[in-house]
Structure 1
Amino acid sequence: MVATVLLSSFLFAVTAHAQKPTVARMLADFDDGTLGFFSATRGTVVTTNHLDGKAVLLKVGQNIAVWQPKVNWSAFNTIKVDAYNPADAPVRLHFCFKDDSAPHGYFSWINRYISARPGRSTIELFIPSLRRGEGGPKDMLDPRPFRWDKMQWFGVSTRGEVELDNFRLEKIDVSTPEGVLAFDFGPANQVVFPGMTGVSPETTYDDAGGFGWTRKRAIWTRKRQRAPDSFVQDWISGNNATFSVKVPRGRHRVWLMWDDPGEWELVQHCPWRNIQAEGKTFLQETMTGEEFLDFYFHFAETEDFPGEDIYKKYVEWRYRPKTFDVNVTDGRLDLTLNGPGQYDCTVNGVVIYPESKRTVGEQFIASVMKRRREAFYKSWNEKLPAKGMLIGGTVVGSVRHVPYFRDLSRDVGVFDAVTAEEVYAAHQVLVANHVLSLSAARGEYEPFSFSVYAVADLPALRTSVSDFKTADGKVLDATAFDVRVVRYKFKRIGFGGAGVYGVLPWILVDGRETSAKQGTSRRWWITVQVPKDQPAGVYRGTVAVSGSAKFELPVEVRVLPFELPEADMGLGLFGMGGTAPYFPYFEENRARNEADKRRSLQFAREHGLTHCAIHRGMSFTGFENGKAQYDYTEGKKRYELARGLGFTSIDMSGERRMSRQALDDKGPLAKKHGFASADALVKEVFRAAIDGAKTNGLPEPVWCFGDEPPDTQAPVFVNMHRRMRELAKAKSTISWSPHGEPTHELLDVTSICSLNITDLDDIQRARDHGNVVYLNNQGRSRWAYGLYMWKAREAGVKAYQQFCWMGTHADPYYPLDSYEDDGGHVYPDRQGKLRPKVDLERIREGIDDYRYTLALTREIANARTGARKKIADDARKYLDSVLGKLKFENTRRDKKPQMTEGELDAYRKKVQEYLVRLAQ
């Protein structure tokens, strides 16, 4: 059977309630051996056994395209393409449409990315759902309707080898059975779910139409990004808003869904909501703060494995239909939506049918649910990992498990092959009287790891750590060891819009009790935190695994006779101190939310991070006698917390709403508040904020009004930043990559230039104008936070931030909701305990590389005479021999690791040796 891949979550299944589609227009089938319709093409027509006779073969970077195609696109609603992907992983395709409407550019085109799954499939694009840009909230910059009658270009390009055939246009309509009324609720421009009638807040009831709103005391609508399907992606909510439908008198079944998929940090949290029919309440739900947390963390302890039915596991639990029966006596069914706010009584759509039509009504609903499920799986492709074999695939005797060692820099995938070298390394420790050895300074966190390949199911694995002791009896307590295992989770892979996911090693959870399925690996990640007052020495102990597998791992920890200094530059992640959920939502959860913020910042400090930013720390309260008034209560609380935890680099964001209004004002706002000019208003709004922060002992505020502007938008920010500086000596910041001169001009007027892609010339230009340079998004790695940042600091970079600390979209444990994946590095459980991604532990190792380098350079500077001076001279030569070879000139090139993990380990070991000698 040919699989079907469907972009934008639409599948038209042929059911009893759907019309069979016919091929209305074949654009290209390549059967004559020519490219035909596609005049501008780099592909090759080939004879294929995988598709129907002949197809066009595209290789990496190639495309097929046509200029000004003579097609009446508006007569169709579906584009279909047959595809064959010879690889064992999905291949990303880019469908691009351009019309004649200026301005021209990427975000004025329609760009859709979709993946062709391995083997043969059919790709479908639903034409009415296509929008300019990439269709997401961050990149849909051009809201103009696309001019399908003025098509200038249609093309398809690929990131991998693929065969394409039978480009065709179809008109597919899905009908609704007689007597069944089906409505899809959403904004006026929604893409209506097939077989339903669209309803927007503007749909007013009249007898001729037979449906619409008869009362709208309060009514809202919203479309969400990347919901499971078009039916639940949008909704209409209300408070005392009545939707009326003309129906026959008698008993009717009402079927509906009322779930908000959420977006960004927002998760639906309804203190109460209900739906009334004919004046009686038929659906009613309430939620307490504790119930909300139960809902939010429902999947917090869920582990995923390849091939699982994630739609059933996640989507069906999240989106559950409601039904009730109501008797209509007057020929009109009135449904009233009630909830305290716009995100509460969020009705996605309604199906209504009389008792006499129960059979066809239930069949129609079943077809809706089937199409929703199929649409999901046609817009998401799972990248299945290859099942690795254990040492050539053979296991002898009655072995149920095989321990092995893998370098900390390399992940352990669920089905990864295990090499003989990895098994031998573990064998040497477990059997041949070798020992797993690590070194750590006082106060340092140092990890080690081992894994087990499950030859058979291992349902109960228990881990314990002994006290560690020196030969003369000093003790490193067992409580210093944090035992975790890596949990697998399905995550988006590659570009989020292409619809590929797979099961990956994700977060580190409590590993004292765990399990492993047959044919999979389980990885332990154990971190020792050496107390700051721990005596130096070599401590020996064991890590024991018992239960379904039994073995003991001898370990020695060498505690070094010194502490590491904190990094002397700002090292952080965006969103530091954030929580999940981000807001308390319920008053009873406010104390938990505050405790979560403290835990979050504390956890960041434990990972060596030194930089954070205070957002929403000040609020504008109005004008009094011509003076702008601000409340700094929240900022003072957060600043004291960050300082108390040891952060050395702290920014505070300026108030944005009033500040931006002042910058945009052409005079009316200034006049309203009694100022002589717009410039006078800007000066007061910003200077009052700056002076108030200083009076309250807070950092000087920094204002940010955007993110990553292109050259076309950069002059707006240049003007704002220049006015702030000239009128009020106010500081500005923005994250971007300088490209053309407009974005380079930002380097002259932006107080904190927060740069992604940059070079030494950019950095010097910013500093020449008195500005500070931060660096962003160079990698979630040991290299990026370690010696690469050392070179960046030497070049004048003051701080580094990676996206992001705790970035969640709706449900943090379901990664396919919202526009992009959850990008955080740490996730809480139901009780608020934080679980890091493996990447965060590698970041800490990088920060420690930096701290060791800083410690040695300081010791070298302090060693001025005698034997210490000779050791210091040798150490300096060694540092120069390593660090002198590293480049920091252009971040696009140099952010790629310039040292292997083994080289970094050898460097760390050598630096430790010098520090020990200098400490004696």
Structure 2
Amino acid sequence: MMKVIYALLALYVAMPLCADVTLVDFGTRDSPVRPGFTRVTHETIFATNGIAGWLDPAGLEAHDRPIPREPYPPIIYTTDTRRDTVQGRSTATLRVAAADGDVRIWMLAGPGGGAREQVWDIEVSAGSSSARATYYTENGNRALTLKGTIGASGYLDLRITTRSRWALSALVVAPADAWPPPTVKKLQQEAFLLPDDQLVRWEHAPPQREKPRSGMPVDRSGIVVFRRPWVTNIWPDDIPAADELNPTVEAFACPNEYEPLTFTILPGRDFESVMVRVADLVTDDGHVIPSSDIEVRHVRYRWVRPNYKVFGRYYRAPDLLPRFNRPGPLRKDEPFRVWMTVHVRPGAPTGIYTGTAGILLKDRITKNVPIRLRVLPIALEKDPAVTYSTYYKHPTVYINRAPDDFSRQWWTRKLENDMASMAACGYDAFLCKITASRLEDGSWRSNLGDLETHLEVARRHGLNRRGPIPCQFTYTLRKLYRRHVDDATLSGHLSGIRMPPAAFFDEVTAIVEAFEADRKRRGLPEILYYPIDEPTTAKDSIEFMVAIFAAIRKVPGVRTYVTADPARPGFAPLAPYVDVWCSNVPSVTPQQQSEDLDRARPVEHWWYPNRVAGENDHTVVAGARMVYGFGRWRSGYRVLIPWRFEAFHGAPENYLDGYHMDFFNQTDDDASVLPCVRYEAYREGIDDGRYLYTLQRWIARARERDHTDAANDAERDLQAMADTLRVPIEDHARAEAWGWSAETMDDFRWILASRIMQLMRLCGEGMN
């Protein structure tokens, strides 16, 4: 019965509500046209169509890319409007007939198909109004909305320009006073949630949590402002408590530190336009943190799955942090969280800095939210023995294969921006992939030029770690395996692996020899050889891994890396061959880690904390901060390397399509990092580690200056913190599992800062 209802609803909303609504479906001559829409192909001329068409179609193309629902799930869910496009590489003008008066225009750009290295870029102008989008991947799409006015002529000209290539799927033009028509809502649902035939198969299942309070009144402005700790999620139906209202946004920070400052707007009705204007932060004696050092973003809700491989259940979660640099709408009763990040520059004077964030509704400041930031006289230090790394897909291959200059420059900027962002966040390193080529004489040639380029860019931006780099070379092994095992596939995690002949492993040794010779010639850091990701404990899998590690270790002096948990008995046969274990859970005690490092052949233990990256849960913000800060300190692990910095499978704008759910960061239109909330939590956790290490350093200095009692008091504080922390094995993604609340981390950071300043005063150093 529900399927029938949804089918009828789909037919209803696909039809124009009245003659004043113009609906266009772009595509080929033969691709399906949505009922009630007008077909526009790459050849449609307005003069012969009368509803919509091109003034000059020269150079345009039309493409139809239907993607079947089976095998399930498809990479994206195509529909009659989303499967086909008209595309162009230069300027084109689309003329649309509509009733005179003010109108709104909605356009769906993409998905364009083709190669992943193509960057799509479109700007649509209607008189003085325009909208632009730049996006990546063959499956990406964007919705553009702009204003227009139709005069006595009865038509509107839409000028389309690009710096690369554009693609259009659908167009809706409707009177401004009837906006938005149901058709737009349906098209947005299909592109950014699910089409009806899939939505009926999925259950809306938000996480279990305390029910929101009800009945919170708004004042005459139509909004209320409230504040919660930034690590606490604010959900789309949350309502504040009385003690959270009308806040002062308060925080403390040190020079050369970033600090989040947040508040939330709850509207009692819809608002078409809201903006936030942040003033300079100023001390009583005139020192200034300029507003240009305060980046303003907001939290964007996304439809997500409970787990990256779960299908059939979804909910709406706080996730990304787009820039808040232009006015946007507020939806009645839906919280809108403003996320400001202040950068306290090196050398900033100590003091209390105050200012305001003005909330503008209809271009007038309706409320001022007070801000109070205390800058401390502490030079934070970072433990050189700890490494914060990440799995990272380098865009070099897209730079090399880019189809045009704009795409090539965009991917190049992305690489530079990613490295700069990692350095600012506190990262030290990243994982790389390397390849080798087999020559006609049977020898192997290493291709480490890209690795060298990556390291040069990284060091230019401050990722200066010279330690070992785990390098995955599975792509080369897959080609080798196919040649030795009857054209078979070396599947992920070694599912269904067949043992190759001895000649396969001889060539593995030759490949590693080629890598090592090239590495030494280029003067690159040590490579940790990482052949296969996450092997299983199945008998055939373990036998293959033992053989391949033995082949690698035939090359003198090399070390190996595996993503496996050494505490699991099934991996015990690998122990004689593994130099670095990287496990998903902190299963090895600090004492065991120290003992393994002291062996004749040292063994390192790294942590692969994917559960706070978002592949399992997009909302583990407090857990992410805990893992990267106090939790890592308590666990004894010295390297964190989650998968991954940016992960997308289908359309980056839709987390429900594709086999894997998208998660963690994305890339903004200008090729800068579009961060998620958990990325901010990583940085704050790293800063917790800086406070911890700085206190440890000042304890040592105090002892050198005979301030033993104060040093002992500070050490007791550290021990008390450690004693209250549990080291969980499985549930480390929740801060509560460690025994702390969200507020506890801020409280303990302040205790650390207070002890540091006490020891600095006693030692007579560093205070201003």
**TM-score range for the pair, normalised by the shorter chain length:** 0.5 to 0.7
Distance 1:510 1:413 in 2: 20
Paired letter, 1:226: P
Who is 1:395 aligned against? 217
Gaps of 5+ in 1: 16-181, 185-219, 236-256, 270-286, 299-304, 319-371, 430-435, 670-675
Map 1:711-860 → 2, pairs under 5 A: 711-712=537-538, 713-727=541-555, 729-738=557-566, 741-757=569-585, 759-760=587-588, 768=599, 770-776=602-608, 777-780=610-613, 781-792=624-635, 794=636, 797-824=637-664, 826-860=665-699
Paired letter, 1:760: V
Asked if the contact 2:395–2:411 (Cα under 8 Å) also holds between the matched residues in 1, the reply is no
Distance 2:578 2:588 in 1: 17
Q: Give CA deviations for 1:197-254 in whole Å, capped at 9, x if unaligned.
A: xxxxxxxxxxxxxxxxxxxxxxx9997652266999xx9xxxxxxxxxxxxxxxxxxx
Asked if the contact 1:453–1:521 (Cα under 8 Å) also holds between the matched residues in 2, the reply is yes
Map 1:305-454 → 2, pairs under 5 A: 312-313=187-188, 315=190, 373-383=195-205, 392-393=214-215, 395=217, 398-423=220-245, 426=246, 429=248, 436-454=249-267
**Does the residue aligned with 1:449 lie in a helix, a strand or coil?**
strand
Decide whether aligned partners of structure 1 residues 667 and 496 sit closer, same or farther in structure 2, where only a CA change above 3 A counts: closer
Who is 1:599 aligned against? 417
Q: Give CA deviations for 1:1-37 in whole Å, capped at 9, x if unaligned.
A: 556899xxxx999x9xxxxxxxxxxxxxxxxxxxxxx
Decide whether aligned partners of structure 1 residues 702 and 386 sit closer, same or farther in structure 2, where only a CA change above 3 A counts: closer
| Counterpart pick for 2:387 among 533, 553, 570 | 570
| Alignment partner of 1:631 is 2:502 | no
Distance 2:263 2:602 in 1: 50
Asked if the contact 2:443–2:510 (Cα under 8 Å) also holds between the matched residues in 1, the reply is yes
Asked if the contact 1:486–1:524 (Cα under 8 Å) also holds between the matched residues in 2, the reply is yes
Paired letter, 1:594: T
| Alignment partner of 1:524 is 2:330 | no
Distance 2:703 2:724 in 1: 26
| Counterpart pick for 1:904 among 733, 745, 748 | 745
| Alignment partner of 1:561 is 2:377 | yes
Who is 2:52 aligned against? none
Distance 1:259 1:754 in 2: 39
TM superposition shift of 1:693: 0.5
Output the TM-score relative to the length of structure 1. Answer: 0.57
Distance 1:660 1:408 in 2: 45
| Counterpart pick for 2:294 among 481, 502, 513 | 481
Who is 1:620 aligned against? 437
TM superposition shift of 1:291: 4.8
- Higher deviation after alignment, 770-779 or 783-792: 770-779
| Alignment partner of 1:915 is 2:756 | yes
Who is 2:495 aligned against? none
Decide whether aligned partners of structure 1 residues 683 and 492 sit closer, same or farther in structure 2, where only a CA change above 3 A counts: closer
Return the structure number with greater strand share.
Answer: 1
Decide whether aligned partners of structure 1 residues 687 and 621 sit closer, same or farther in structure 2, where only a CA change above 3 A counts: same
Q: Give CA deviations for 1:546-571 in whole Å, capped at 9, x if unaligned.
A: 23461112222222223222343121
TM superposition shift of 1:644: 2.5
**Does the residue aligned with 1:911 lie in a helix, a strand or coil?**
helix
Decide whether aligned partners of structure 1 residues 914 and 623 sit closer, same or farther in structure 2, where only a CA change above 3 A counts: farther
Who is 1:864 aligned against? 703
Asked if the contact 2:304–2:317 (Cα under 8 Å) also holds between the matched residues in 1, the reply is yes
| Alignment partner of 1:465 is 2:278 | yes
Asked if the contact 1:803–1:823 (Cα under 8 Å) also holds between the matched residues in 2, the reply is no
Distance 2:759 2:166 in 1: 53
Who is 1:640 aligned against? 456
Decide whether aligned partners of structure 1 residues 866 and 481 sit closer, same or farther in structure 2, where only a CA change above 3 A counts: same
**Does the residue aligned with 2:560 lie in a helix, a strand or coil?**
strand
Asked if the contact 1:447–1:528 (Cα under 8 Å) also holds between the matched residues in 2, the reply is yes
Decide whether aligned partners of structure 1 residues 668 and 553 sit closer, same or farther in structure 2, where only a CA change above 3 A counts: closer
TM superposition shift of 1:593: 0.5
TM superposition shift of 1:869: 4.2
Distance 1:710 1:668 in 2: 23
Asked if the contact 1:613–1:653 (Cα under 8 Å) also holds between the matched residues in 2, the reply is yes
Distance 2:485 2:267 in 1: 72
Who is 1:884 aligned against? 723
Decide whether aligned partners of structure 1 residues 308 and 377 sit closer, same or farther in structure 2, where only a CA change above 3 A counts: farther
**Does the residue aligned with 2:254 lie in a helix, a strand or coil?**
strand
Distance 1:801 1:260 in 2: 32
Distance 1:908 1:765 in 2: 30
Paired letter, 2:520: K
Asked if the contact 1:732–1:751 (Cα under 8 Å) also holds between the matched residues in 2, the reply is yes
| Counterpart pick for 1:267 among 125, 131, 138 | 138
Distance 1:677 1:386 in 2: 55
Decide whether aligned partners of structure 1 residues 817 and 221 sit closer, same or farther in structure 2, where only a CA change above 3 A counts: closer
Paired letter, 1:490: W
**Does the residue aligned with 1:510 lie in a helix, a strand or coil?**
coil
Decide whether aligned partners of structure 1 residues 725 and 561 sit closer, same or farther in structure 2, where only a CA change above 3 A counts: same
Decide whether aligned partners of structure 1 residues 753 and 420 sit closer, same or farther in structure 2, where only a CA change above 3 A counts: same
TM superposition shift of 1:787: 1.0
Decide whether aligned partners of structure 1 residues 388 and 583 sit closer, same or farther in structure 2, where only a CA change above 3 A counts: farther
**Does the residue aligned with 1:497 lie in a helix, a strand or coil?**
coil
Asked if the contact 2:528–2:558 (Cα under 8 Å) also holds between the matched residues in 1, the reply is yes
Aligned length: 599
Decide whether aligned partners of structure 1 residues 685 and 709 sit closer, same or farther in structure 2, where only a CA change above 3 A counts: closer
TM superposition shift of 1:391: 6.3
**Does the residue aligned with 1:612 lie in a helix, a strand or coil?**
coil
Who is 2:144 aligned against? none
Decide whether aligned partners of structure 1 residues 807 and 294 sit closer, same or farther in structure 2, where only a CA change above 3 A counts: farther
Asked if the contact 1:483–1:510 (Cα under 8 Å) also holds between the matched residues in 2, the reply is yes
Map 1:614-693 → 2, pairs under 5 A: 614-616=432-434, 619-620=436-437, 622=439, 628-647=444-463, 648=465, 651-653=469-471, 655-659=473-477, 681-693=507-519
TM superposition shift of 1:528: 0.5
Asked if the contact 1:578–1:805 (Cα under 8 Å) also holds between the matched residues in 2, the reply is no
Decide whether aligned partners of structure 1 residues 821 and 654 sit closer, same or farther in structure 2, where only a CA change above 3 A counts: closer
Asked if the contact 2:272–2:329 (Cα under 8 Å) also holds between the matched residues in 1, the reply is yes
**Does the residue aligned with 2:430 lie in a helix, a strand or coil?**
strand
Paired letter, 2:358: A
Decide whether aligned partners of structure 1 residues 638 and 520 sit closer, same or farther in structure 2, where only a CA change above 3 A counts: same
TM superposition shift of 1:807: 0.7
Asked if the contact 1:224–1:263 (Cα under 8 Å) also holds between the matched residues in 2, the reply is no
Who is 2:101 aligned against? none
Map 1:72-83 → 2, pairs under 5 A: none
TM superposition shift of 1:908: 0.3
TM superposition shift of 1:744: 2.8
Who is 2:49 aligned against? none
| Alignment partner of 1:546 is 2:546 | no
**Does the residue aligned with 2:352 lie in a helix, a strand or coil?**
strand
Distance 2:506 2:211 in 1: 73
Decide whether aligned partners of structure 1 residues 495 and 607 sit closer, same or farther in structure 2, where only a CA change above 3 A counts: closer
TM superposition shift of 1:400: 0.7
| Alignment partner of 1:499 is 2:317 | no
Q: Give CA deviations for 1:296-352 in whole Å, capped at 9, x if unaligned.
A: 9x9xxxxxx9x998762154699xxxxxxxxxxxxxxxxxxxxxxxxxxxxxxxxxx
Paired letter, 1:467: D
Distance 2:111 2:759 in 1: 68
Distance 2:760 2:195 in 1: 65
| Greater RCO (Cα-Cα under 8 Å, separation 6 or more) | 2
